[in-house]
Amino acid sequence: MPVNVRLLGIAVFFNLLGRGAFMASSALYFTRFAGVTPGQLGVGLAVAGATGLVSGVPFGHLADRRGQRDVAAVLLILSALAAVFFLVVDGFVQFTAVAVVFTFIERGAYAARQAVLSTLTAGEDATLARAQIRTIGNLGVAIGSGIAGLAIWVDTQEAYMGVIGFNAASYLICGLVFFALPRIAAVPVQPGASKLPVLRDRRYTAATMVNMIMVIHFAMLDIGFPLWIAQHTNAPHWMTAVLILFNTAGCVLFQISATRRIGTLESARRSWRLAGFLFLGTCVLTGLADGASALGACVLLLVAAGLHLYGEIIQSAAGWVISIDLAPAGQNGQYQGLFTTGFAFSQMVAPFVISTLVIENGTIGWVCLGATFALAGIAMTPVLRIADGASSANPCDKEIARS
């Protein structure tokens, strides 16, 4: 494994180690010890999420113009500082204020971090390198969730506060590791050039929107399956933990091997389309678990989780290729900023889509969601054929045009 990939893996591991622990336990802390009701928690997170939508592109642009590594490292360290203030939250107003500041900085840090990753892993083995980093990151999430489980088991205010401090430390470590990476030179703005050309790039904007729809599938695992199992199936409630563990272990074990052949826009297009149909199968089987026996529901859910796992793996790899290969040289920051903004928006609306539009409408809701995924999988092909406004064409684009 190249040194840069190893360092990026270490940085992402520590970042997601703390974040995994924080995400799995923070709701309990805020609603039990910080004076925030469950309803206020949802409102505060929604406001913070909306604020985070506007930070990706400008911070990504700043990374291009001031050096991607340096901007990413500084923003990660600032994220650590902002995360510390969760320890002094007392009530809805303070929680919302801290969440807004943290999310605004953290989303910008993520965009700059993705730009660094795309720059330092460019080349023939780019997809393999990104798969290795994602695998290491998934391992961090898994261990972090275990740390959260210990805090929940101890169930004291001090234990939860320890997790919050641990999360802040993880951002700090990630930022410091980034300073060990090679410095990436700033790209000066050409005279008369648009400062934010990504906002005029029809193809990239369309790809971002298609991705925004597709990545709703992530909410199926931590929201869709738990609610469906509890409210509509005869499967035991512990099946939720089994499915999450199955997905986490599968991503760690198979991400690298399953994505070795996804390295061009053409292979990404095919994989993206396949992922859409895999998610369709996931949704149909999940819906059919309603009314089945306990054993039958468990079998259907396990097969659905298997389809979802493979779809997630190849969709993630295809998304890396699409988001990076469509971005012009020297503008990775702002382009990754837009792509990650689409992802952030999806994660903000996904809980509503899954819990309200899908769960409340039963099996037909799952079928409709699956059909949406299939259409999003198909839609990426015409999106990649949209002229990008440049006179030169990528050889991969020509390959797609002939298909």
Is 153 in a helix, a strand, or coil? Answer: helix
Picking from 177, 159, 207, the residue whose alpha carbon sits closest to that of residue 69 is: 177
Instruction: Give the tokens for residue 14.
Output: 């520590």
Residues 6+ positions from 253 with CB-CB distance below 8 Å: none
CATH number for the domain running over 197-402: 1.20.1250.20
Residue-by-residue DSSP string for 87-120 = GG--SHHHHHHHHHHHHHHHHHHHHHHHHHHHHH
Q: Residues 339, 340, 344, 350: is their CA dihedral positive or negative?
A: positive
Spatial distance between the Cα atoms of 99 and 106, rounded to a whole number of angstroms? 10
How many other C-beta atoms are found inside a 10 Å radius of the C-beta of residue 84? 17
In terms of CATH, what superfamily is 3-178? MFS general substrate transporter like domains (1.20.1250.20)
Categorise residue 235: left if φ over 0, alpha if ψ from -120 to 50, beta otherwise.
beta
Spatial distance between the Cα atoms of 18 and 337, rounded to a whole number of angstroms? 23
Is 391 in a helix, a strand, or coil? Answer: coil
- As averages over each run of 10 residues, the pLDDT of the chain (403 residues) reads 85 92 86 88 86 88 89 96 96 95 94 87 73 86 87 90 96 96 79 68 92 92 86 89 85 82 88 97 96 95 96 92 84 84 84 85 94 97 72 39 37
Spatial distance between the Cα atoms of 296 and 353, rounded to a whole number of angstroms? 26
Spatial distance between the Cα atoms of 60 and 79, rounded to a whole number of angstroms? 15
Spatial distance between the Cα atoms of 21 and 25, rounded to a whole number of angstroms? 6
Provide the CB-side half-sphere exposure for 343 (13 A, CA).
18
The structure's pTM equals: 0.81
Distances in whole angstroms, Cα of residue 67 to Cα of each of 59, 63, 131, 237, 326: 11, 5, 24, 48, 20
Residues 6+ positions from 201 with CB-CB distance below 8 Å: 326, 335, 388, 389
Is 212 in a helix, a strand, or coil? Answer: helix
Q: What 8-state DSSP symbol labels residue 361?
A: G
Q: What 8-state DSSP symbol labels residue 220?
A: I
Long-range contacts of 178-183 (CB under 8 A, 24+ apart): 178/11, 178/69, 178/72, 178/73, 178/76, 178/113, 178/116, 179/69, 179/73, 180/7, 181/4, 181/7, 181/8, 181/69, 181/116, 181/120, 182/4, 182/69, 182/120, 183/67, 183/69, 183/70
**pLDDT for the residue numbered 1:** 64
Residues 6+ positions from 33 with CB-CB distance below 8 Å: 157, 160
**pLDDT for the residue numbered 193:** 55
User: What are the structural domain ranges in the chain?
Assistant: 3-178, 197-402
Q: What 8-state DSSP symbol labels residue 180?
A: T
Is 289 in a helix, a strand, or coil? Answer: coil
Asked if domains 3-178 and 197-402 share a fold, the reply is: yes
Asked if 394 and 265 count as a contact pair (C-beta separation under 8 A), the reply is: yes
